[in-house]
Structure 1
Amino acid sequence: MKFIKRLLILAIICIILGVGTIFGFYLYLKPDLPDVAKLKDVELQTPLRVYSADGELISQFGEKRRIPLTLKQMPPLLVDGFIATEDSRFYEHHGVDPIGIARAAFVMLTTGHARQGASTITQQLARNFFLSNKKTFSRKIREAFIAIHIEQILTKDQILDLYLNKIYLGYRAYGVGAAAQVYFGKSVDQLTLSEMAVIAGLPKAPSTMNPIYSIDRATTRRNVVLDRMYKEGYITKAQMDKARSEPIVSHYHGAEIQLYAPYVAERARAWMVNRYGEDAYTKGMDVYTTINAKLQHAAQQSAVDNLLNYDERHGYRGPTAVLWKSGQTPLNANQIVEKLSTQPTYGELIPAVVTKVNQQSVVVVTKQGLTVTLNWNGIKWARKYLTDKAQGPAPTTAAQIVTAGQQIWVQNKATTVAATADTAAVTTDHWVLSQVPGANTSFVAMSPNNGAILAMVGGFNYTQSKFNRATQSVRQVGSGIKPFIYSAAIQKGLTLATLINDAPITKWDKWQGTAWRPKNADGRYGGPTRARIGLARSINVMAIRVLRMAGLDYTINYLTRFGFKRADLPHAEPLALGAGSLTPLELAQGYSVFANGGYAVKPFLINKVDNNDGELIYTANPKIVCNDVCQSQNPQAKMQVALATAAATAAENAPTAQKPVAPVTEKPTLAQLEQVITPPPVRYAPEVISEQNAFLVRQMLNSNIWGEPGHLYGTGFRARVLGRHDIGGKTGTTNDSKDAWYTGFGPNIVATTWVGFDDHRHALGRTSFNKNLGKNQITGGEYGGNAAQPAWISFMHTALKNTPEQPLQIPTDIVKVRIDRATGKLSDRDDASSMYEYFIKGTEPTQSASQVNSEQKFDTETAEELF
């Protein structure tokens, strides 16, 4: 009895000492223990997502991939898999499981190995939120105390919800939602039992037991999870056996990008970081851009295809590398794939290696390991590149183009025949030889009604170059500036029927001791010519004389109405020929004023931002166009337009030193920026040119495409293939064809495309006839109309496909009279010598053509009489 009493006393003393020790540890560690009440309001780090206006995912940014889910959104068997494997007594303990600890200790004592973990799910949650993974005794004690606190403030379901969204599961995937996407490309409700078990087995070693790293390890771990689920009664033996028999099919799945627009994504990312700071990457915000998915697809395809067409007609520049030469041992398919694994893929351009050359076909192995044949139609374009202006003879055999062992680029221009009631859709592969272009391109489309950017392509490929040429590349715009020069002159009294002398100009520069002799592009001069034709045909000397009519200082000041910066506009007459430099987006912004009837809108890309709860925390508030009809129906809008116009006019006319400067304000805090907001009131764009002025310029831009009935075409005549008369535009080409542009409009859209070399030393050059390609090929010099406009035309085919042609809307105070084509005076004839022309009321001609001396001539000596 004495022994039993002593043993009992010893046990009591040990218990008291144990409890006292634990309590002592608690008192010692209490000041350093975190406030677990924060878990009630925890905000999980989720990535920034960028969407198009119609909800297609463009990109996501952030170190951690996470798809937050509620417990109800998770399949019960997936949750059961975690409980069975990680903490089978989860619903029975209070944060720490003494039975689990004893069981783990017994296994370790009997086997000498720690084969079972003793940490509960609550302890793992405590570690993930508040502690490191460093294996120390003090960390385990802290972990236990924190787990007990968590159990006191959260329910079991709340703990599971946090745990299954927080836990790291490999490959930057945090939580079960992200893991399902990364490993299987599925949402959690689409997972099979086998796939659920794979994910439930990851917490033990997420970096080495995942199916991407090792199928064998993932399979072994999956079977352990299934066995635990069966033993705990969550699944039947039949379910277990079926799941164990399924092979694991897994590979890395990136974010479900639905719309390829990397230049848009980067601009949106930069905007978000500038506004919200680095928290933008982790707050789970959704930013919706103004991009239209259909138009972005069209812009990307049109711009890249046009650039490749330009590049290929200038000749084939040869292979990227040579992996073996004639007489050397060729690489096999596996070795080729290994060699190409480090090579990038530029959109549709895929690296490949030539393995066999036939008479008029080539066999290649692609980066993906496909063995494909390039037939003659896919390679016959590839005559040798000599210089920007010269190409070699057209090839007659494949051996004249490539040899075995060369690393090249290929493209699959597959065609799909749509399904019918009786047949399924059929896709036919058509592999062609290609090359990474030396030149580059950009494309931007925007709404002239509010400035929303609808599509943006910053270059050939974002992987190749992250420089956004649509918004960052300041290039000379060539003849693309001329509509603005004519608009300034209209403000000074020019009409579309005004005669301007198309004759050579010689201007002596006494300071330089040389003469400036601007020339027309084709070297031809037509004498007195109406203004409409001058802009439609982009006649250089006429543009200079129009500038002289308006005045250089006035014109520069006038051009700022369109959003152009004075610093980008040279104070010299070459301004009329495009010596000014703008970005493609700035040029599109300027043309929007003509398209919308005279109102200045500012481009914007970010439409709205939602927080992690889907609540609106930012919305764009662009100034929108309210034309004369709108103002007549809304007196309050008319007043706001007038005020906006007055403010814009005051800013334009103010001396540079007195221009209003925005007050310096303190940047709002993140908490202030994240406040849920209501949509702001409507704002209206200022009227910077009259509706009549804008209408007349649109008429000239329409003639750039359609010319005059029965008479000359304009420089943009290729767009006639669109078959509609509610469009207009202007070509632009700089000296030596270093930049080629086309900017034009259709109903509710303006678009600009540019082609050129990033290296200003290179010109776009010229091409000769390639007898292998037929009669519809582009030859001769490269200009805005053939180097850039095809991309605009292709884009507009898609953009305007379902938009009916709009009838001509003639503003008030515009009159139409019949004029004589030769003199611009009134005509009483109804034959081809006359036509109807539009005038601002009061500027129409009053003199009849029959009163003009038919023998009057203009020459270079009297040229200045017509400006």
Structure 2
Amino acid sequence: MRRRPFLTKEPTKVYRPRKRGTRLWLNVIFISVVTGFAGMSTIIILLRCLPLPDQSVVNPTEIESDDGLRLAEWTSSGTEQQAVPLSRIPQALINATLAVEDTNFYRDHAIDLKSTARALLVNMKHGSVVQGGSTITQQLAKNLFLSQDRTYSRKVREALFAMQLELHEPKDWILGRYLNVVYYGHGAYGVQSAARLYFNKSVDELNVAECALLAGLPKGPSIYSPLTSMDKAKERQHVVLQRMVAAGYLTQEAARTAYNTPITIAKFHSPIVQAPYFTQVAVDEAKRQYQVTNEQLYQGDVRIHTTLDPLLQQAAERALMTTLPKHSDIQAALVAMDPETGAIKALVGGRNFRMSPYNRVLAPRQPGSTFKGILYTAALEHGWTPANEVDSKLTTFVYGPNHDKQYTVHDYGDFYAERPLTLREALARSDNVYAVHTNLAIGPEAVVEMGHRMGISSTLKPYPSLALGVFPVTPLEMATAYATLANGGYKVSPYTVKELDSPGNSVQVHPEKEHVVSPQIAYQMTDLLTSVMERNGTGYSVRNYLHNVAAAKTGTTDTDAWMVGYTPNLVCAVWVGYDTNKPLTVAESHLAAPIWAKFMGTAQSHMPYDGFRPVPGLTRVTLDPLTGKVATPLCRTTEVDYFIPGTEPAEPCPVHSPPKPDQPKGPTNKLFEWFKKLF
């Protein structure tokens, strides 16, 4: 078999000339790489040489009082007073944060190119920045140096600042700073303030379960907060623990144990602002009325200018503190507003915000006899006058379509005048028989309608007991209703935010009024309510705190003590009672009046006035309260009342009238003649 001989020559190579276009592209690529490398090197050198910018360049969110005093401030940089060194932060919290936020933090540089590319594809698909893909260094750069806008330009600047941070600072410094400024919800920046807020512990006292729960919050503080949803917080905690297992920080058994460890959330939270009850109302109003979100508040650059008067706020807090018993669970609430606009000038929702942030200014309670201010306004509008008299005695009223229902009325302590009372006397003494008689005479439906007209939004029912304030309303509602009387008959809407500035949104509040009661009736009620502070009135005992005339009404139920009243430029409502509806003692039932009077006394000095000025369209008449008729010079006791023209009494007091001309003149007649000449 013939074998094929080996080839002794090399095969001939064929050389083909390269195309010029290929050479050109190679040159372009080479030049681009060199240029890019040189450019990147230049950028790195510049970033290394340039100093880091000032931290916290973003303006904080500020809440200001009416005169510009700062009440609260939120900033994305947190507070330095709460900063703790990395050595004090539990390793479990560090590991949990790394596992859920940036597993490769210590291995990678400032930017995670894979995550950034993935986020870029998602953002291009949606046409906007919806996903970040940021490392811990990038997040810190954003918090320290940038706004929270979700734009491509901000992402580029964020990346540059992150690179600069890692060129200037070691990884431990970056991680420690991040843990001290990241936002954990409810105004808590940094791990120390978050540990205090949620667990009432120092951060170095946290266990693995608590660390995992905290580490899960930055992704969505409002979603995963254990204060609002423990179920969602636990779901997020489970995710964090599983990430820790995947990263090698925990075994599966240790993660299961941590997840099943009971977590006790702090019940009370320390106030971080001045006037905390008021500030919370203002923040809620900004969110509700002007669509400001939690994220916007904590991202910064929001300014909320409120209606608060700092001096009046201090007076309100001092009045509660100096009046309520020190070792007692009894609570109190006070709200004061400008009756002309509805601007809230002072608000205290309880005796201690730290111990109980529940705002009792917004809590419905039985108003008792303070509701009579609304009742008698309706009565005056339906033809009643200050001269109307009702016999004050134990009375059982029969009512209903078939007159088959009975309602027996008791006065406080079952003490009755046992004689007819005028409206002024009944209001000053807070007579319940007069109130129920009036309610049934004009129709409870008319009283309900008047209550809603004057600003009561709570449910009122047309029952005989409506006159005695048995249907719960809030102190804010009562202040609003009495403001209608103070300003001459206009319903105003209470508000706390007068101006709001945020990126892309600027609002100035222009209060609106609604005319609901005639100025004549409003003044009649005001004049009648001043008698409460006079001798024999239920508010007379605290009259010495005041410096000028005031209109007011006290109210007491088994569980609630009230006082609501006003001057021409301020209306104030005070409530005292127990959150548990525990019955008040006799002494406790008198605590609302001194709180109100102490506060209003300060307000009178701070906001002086001349008094209540009568409005045109009223007739001034001096009555004898015993008969409700025009007083004569012989009447020992008189009262001055105002009437709509044509409704005033014309007959003189029959008990103290002078003798007829044909009667012989005795000593009494001679005395009358002397008084007649005198006047």
TM-score (norm 1): 0.48
1:472-621 equivalence runs, <5 A: 473-507=363-397, 515-526=406-417, 527-565=419-457, 568-611=459-502, 617-621=506-510
* Shift in CA distance, 24/764, structure 1 to aligned 2, threshold 3 Å: same
* Shift in CA distance, 19/799, structure 1 to aligned 2, threshold 3 Å: same
Cα separation, 1, equivalents of 2:595 and 2:485: 21
Q: Give a deviation string over 1:106-139, Cα, whole Å, max 9, x none.
A: xxxxxxxxxxxxxxxxxxxxxxxxx995643794
Secondary structure, in 3 states, of the residue corresponding to 1:764?
coil
Does 2:621 align with 1:782? no
* Shift in CA distance, 138/847, structure 1 to aligned 2, threshold 3 Å: closer
Partner of residue 672, structure 2: none
1:278-317 equivalence runs, <5 A: 278-281=294-297, 282-307=299-324, 309=325, 312=326
* Shift in CA distance, 279/817, structure 1 to aligned 2, threshold 3 Å: same
1:353-752 equivalence runs, <5 A: 435=327, 437-471=328-362, 473-507=363-397, 515-526=406-417, 527-565=419-457, 568-611=459-502, 617-623=506-512, 685-707=513-535, 713-734=536-557, 736=558, 738-752=559-573
Secondary structure, in 3 states, of the residue corresponding to 1:686?
strand
* Shift in CA distance, 611/514, structure 1 to aligned 2, threshold 3 Å: closer
**What's the offset of the Cα at 1:516?**
2.9
Identity among equivalent positions (%) equals: 28
Q: Are 1:66 and 1:174, in contact at CA under 8 Å, matched by a contact in 2? A: no
Match among 289, 292, 307 for residue 276 of structure 1 = 292
Cα separation, 2, equivalents of 1:299 and 1:585: 15
Q: Are 2:57 and 2:144, in contact at CA under 8 Å, matched by a contact in 1? A: no
* Shift in CA distance, 203/66, structure 1 to aligned 2, threshold 3 Å: farther
Partner of residue 11, structure 2: none
**What's the offset of the Cα at 1:140?**
8.3
* Shift in CA distance, 758/749, structure 1 to aligned 2, threshold 3 Å: same
**What's the offset of the Cα at 1:618?**
0.8
* Shift in CA distance, 23/48, structure 1 to aligned 2, threshold 3 Å: same
Q: Give a deviation string over 1:550-583, Cα, whole Å, max 9, x none.
A: 2112221222110113x52122110001112111
**What's the offset of the Cα at 1:722?**
3.3
AA matched with 1:584: P
Q: Give a deviation string over 1:414-469, Cα, whole Å, max 9, x none.
A: xxxxxxxxxxxxxxxxxxxxx4x312111100000010011111112222222211
TM-score (norm 2): 0.61
Cα separation, 2, equivalents of 1:20 and 1:816: 97
**What's the offset of the Cα at 1:835?**
3.9
Q: Are 1:815 and 1:839, in contact at CA under 8 Å, matched by a contact in 2? A: yes
* Shift in CA distance, 607/804, structure 1 to aligned 2, threshold 3 Å: closer
* Shift in CA distance, 17/458, structure 1 to aligned 2, threshold 3 Å: same
Does 2:218 align with 1:205? no
Q: Are 1:46 and 1:66, in contact at CA under 8 Å, matched by a contact in 2? A: no
* Shift in CA distance, 469/850, structure 1 to aligned 2, threshold 3 Å: same
Does 2:108 align with 1:136? yes
**What's the offset of the Cα at 1:258?**
10
Secondary structure, in 3 states, of the residue corresponding to 1:755?
strand
Secondary structure, in 3 states, of the residue corresponding to 2:433?
helix
Partner of residue 652, structure 2: 848
Q: Are 2:421 and 2:625, in contact at CA under 8 Å, matched by a contact in 1? A: no
**What's the offset of the Cα at 1:483?**
1.2
Cα separation, 2, equivalents of 1:570 and 1:581: 11
Cα separation, 1, equivalents of 2:487 and 2:452: 17
* Shift in CA distance, 442/135, structure 1 to aligned 2, threshold 3 Å: same
Cα separation, 1, equivalents of 2:31 and 2:505: 52
Cα separation, 2, equivalents of 1:508 and 1:804: 48
Cα separation, 1, equivalents of 2:113 and 2:329: 64
Q: 5+ residue gaps in structure 1?
A: 1-14, 28-42, 68-130, 144-165, 177-199, 214-256, 313-434, 624-684, 708-712, 767-780, 855-867
Query: More displaced, 568-577 or 512-521?
Result: 512-521
Partner of residue 833, structure 1: 637
Report the number of matched residues: 463
Q: Are 2:631 and 2:652, in contact at CA under 8 Å, matched by a contact in 1? A: yes
* Shift in CA distance, 135/21, structure 1 to aligned 2, threshold 3 Å: farther
AA matched with 2:537: G
Cα separation, 2, equivalents of 1:514 and 1:828: 42
**What's the offset of the Cα at 1:506?**
1.3
Partner of residue 626, structure 2: 822
Cα separation, 2, equivalents of 1:133 and 1:456: 48
* Shift in CA distance, 22/459, structure 1 to aligned 2, threshold 3 Å: farther
Cα separation, 2, equivalents of 1:293 and 1:277: 26
Q: Are 1:570 and 1:579, in contact at CA under 8 Å, matched by a contact in 2? A: no
Q: Are 2:546 and 2:600, in contact at CA under 8 Å, matched by a contact in 1? A: no
Secondary structure, in 3 states, of the residue corresponding to 2:641?
strand
AA matched with 1:174: L
Cα separation, 2, equivalents of 1:493 and 1:138: 80
Q: Pick the structure with greater CA Rg.
A: 2
Cα separation, 2, equivalents of 1:600 and 1:293: 25
**What's the offset of the Cα at 1:289?**
1.1
Q: Are 1:704 and 1:729, in contact at CA under 8 Å, matched by a contact in 2? A: yes
Q: Are 1:726 and 1:805, in contact at CA under 8 Å, matched by a contact in 2? A: no
Secondary structure, in 3 states, of the residue corresponding to 2:315?
helix
Secondary structure, in 3 states, of the residue corresponding to 2:615?
coil
Q: 5+ residue gaps in structure 2?
A: 1-26, 40-55, 81-102, 116-137, 147-167, 181-189, 192-270, 659-679
Q: Give a deviation string over 1:711-757, Cα, whole Å, max 9, x none.
A: xx2101133113444311111111x2x01111111231001111111
**What's the offset of the Cα at 1:598?**
0.8
AA matched with 2:583: A
Q: Are 2:546 and 2:604, in contact at CA under 8 Å, matched by a contact in 1? A: no
Q: Give a deviation string over 1:327-383, Cα, whole Å, max 9, x none.
A: xxxxxxxxxxxxxxxxxxxxxxxxxxxxxxxxxxxxxxxxxxxxxxxxxxxxxxxxx
Q: Are 2:624 and 2:635, in contact at CA under 8 Å, matched by a contact in 1? A: no
Match among 267, 270, 277 for residue 263 of structure 1 = 277
* Shift in CA distance, 272/540, structure 1 to aligned 2, threshold 3 Å: same
User: What value does the CA root-mean-square deviation take over the aligned residues?
Assistant: 4.2
AA matched with 1:305: T
Cα separation, 1, equivalents of 2:456 and 2:494: 13
* Shift in CA distance, 141/24, structure 1 to aligned 2, threshold 3 Å: farther
Q: Are 1:499 and 1:529, in contact at CA under 8 Å, matched by a contact in 2? A: yes
Q: Are 2:76 and 2:144, in contact at CA under 8 Å, matched by a contact in 1? A: no
Q: Are 1:65 and 1:174, in contact at CA under 8 Å, matched by a contact in 2? A: no
Cα separation, 2, equivalents of 1:66 and 1:525: 62
* Shift in CA distance, 459/22, structure 1 to aligned 2, threshold 3 Å: farther
* Shift in CA distance, 513/202, structure 1 to aligned 2, threshold 3 Å: farther
* Shift in CA distance, 24/305, structure 1 to aligned 2, threshold 3 Å: same
Secondary structure, in 3 states, of the residue corresponding to 2:296?
helix
* Shift in CA distance, 60/806, structure 1 to aligned 2, threshold 3 Å: same
Cα separation, 1, equivalents of 2:104 and 2:620: 81
